[in-house]
Structure 1
Amino acid sequence: MQQKKFRVTDEDGIHARPATALVNTANKFKSEVFAEALGKKVTMKSILGVLSFGLEPGDEITFIAEGEDEAQVIPALEEVFVKEGLGEVYE
């Protein structure tokens, strides 16, 4: 299992366009990919799951990958999260 925590810094939080980019990235991998935030855990392979958090600036989210290509999942999600300006690594 691989995981990494991030803090949302985008003033709009995580909205549809960047959430779609995260979901599309997660769907490129065979591993199970989850996100945990605000006491909930959802699959990263569902746009509705990701948007259901309603994340705002200052909220924390943890990406978790379990499976055969788990080592590649978290760096790929990190690249999208940072490139889209959603936030920063928080550890």
Structure 2
Amino acid sequence: MPERRVTVVSKVGLHARPAALVAKAAAAQPVTITIRKDGTTPVEAGSILGLMTLGAACGDEVVLAAEGDGADEALDHLADLVASELD
């Protein structure tokens, strides 16, 4: 299963507006993408609530994972988004 490790750049982490933008982008992908912090259970990246309960703050590393046709492209797209300033 392809994975991407990404550092959260947004000052508020994956909360509120950044979470909504990431969830919208993840839901638009042709594969289901999960996201987790090390030592936690993965949540669906397409869920705003899931992203917010993850508690990913600025500077935290998260792991994105997906499986199926188009997984690599979807992960690249979402990794670029998480690694950008979304505030």
The two structures have a TM-score, normalised by structure 1, of 0.79
The Cα of 1:49 is off from its aligned counterpart by 0.5
The residue number in structure 1 matching 2:30 is: 30
Q: CA deviation at 1:16?
A: 1.3
How many percent identity over aligned positions?
27
Aligned match of 1:20: 20
Structure 1 residues not aligned, in runs of 5+: 87-91
Q: Deviations over 1:27-84 (max 9, x none)?
A: 112212100115121011111101101222332110101111102111110222233x
In structure 1, how many angstroms separate the alpha carbons of the residues matched to 2:60 and 2:82?
14
The within-5 A match list for 1:35-46 is: 35-38=35-38, 39-46=40-47
Q: Which amino acid aligns with 2:34?
A: F
Number of equivalenced pairs? 85
Amino acid at match of 2:69: E
* Misfit runs of 4+, over 6 Å: none
Higher share in strand: 1
Partner of 1:61: 62
- Measure, in 2, the Cα distance between the counterparts of 1:19 and 1:72: 20
SS in 2 for 1:40: coil
Does the residue aligned with 1:36 lie in a helix, a strand or coil? strand
**Inter-partner Cα distance in structure 1 for 2:32 and 2:10:** 26
